[in-house]
Amino acid sequence: MNEKRVADLIRKLLVELGENPKRQGLLRTPGRVARSLAYLTEGYRLKMGTVINGAVFKSEANNMIIARDIEVYSMCEHHMLPFFGRCHIGYIAKSKVLGVSKLARLTDFFARRLQIQERLTAQIANAVMEAAAPEGVGVVMECRHLCMMMRGVGKQNSVMTTSSVLGSFHDDQATRQEFLNLLGDRRTGL
């Protein structure tokens, strides 16, 4: 991403919005917005291999592994407004486990793009499946969308929940239910 070109575009946008980009409070805004957008969309420029960074470890564990309440921040591709919430990831290892921080890093890798929550949830599940080759994966995401809260229907308390289940989480109802039970009532309070 060329931050200088983006800053120039933001200057032009400020004019179109009726603002004066030369007034004191806005002088440095185009550069700040360009740097902010570079960070918020860095998922386009990273590679999954560098995100995982070799943190896939041999393990004899074949139990369910869950990382709960991973904060997620992304931007809606329809209005470029933020959505945010929590992501819960579970998987049953066969012979490999991921370093726990890599689950959070995978979440950020896909969240730092223009997104829809449904696709984001599926991308995370598929990435865990690809990286660790587990028996199954489950991802549940609960987010608030500013495009629903600040504009449009103006629903302040709405939370969107999405899930993606692969492998044994998809094929075996008992496995899926165990995952959801372990998440329990803590999936509230956004």
- SS3 per-residue string spanning 39-65: HHCHHHCCCHHHHHCCCEEECCCCCEE
Ranges in the chain annotated CATH 3.30.1130.10: 54-186
90 closest CA partner among 48, 142, 140, 162: 140
The model's confidence at residue 135, banded by pLDDT at 50, 70 and 90, is very high
Over residues 68-123, the pLDDT tens digits come to 999 999 999 999 999 999 999 999 999 999 999 999 999 999 999 999 999 999 99
The model's confidence at residue 2, banded by pLDDT at 50, 70 and 90, is very high
The model's confidence at residue 152, banded by pLDDT at 50, 70 and 90, is confident
**pTM for this entry:** 0.92
Percent of the chain with pLDDT over 70: 97
Query: Per-residue pLDDT for 169 more than 60?
Result: yes
Over residues 35-73, the pLDDT tens digits come to 999 999 999 999 999 999 889 899 887 889 999 999 999
Q: What architecture is domain 54-186?
A: 2-Layer Sandwich (3.30)
Range list of H helices, 41-172: 48-52, 100-111, 117-132, 146-149, 168-171
What pLDDT does residue 186 have? 56
Higher pLDDT, 155 or 80: 80
Does residue 121 contact residue 163 with C-beta atoms inside 8 Å?
yes
What pLDDT does residue 156 have? 85
Query: Per-residue pLDDT for 187 more than 60?
Result: no
Q: What share of the chain is helix, strand, coil (3-state, %, to 5)?
A: 45, 25, 30
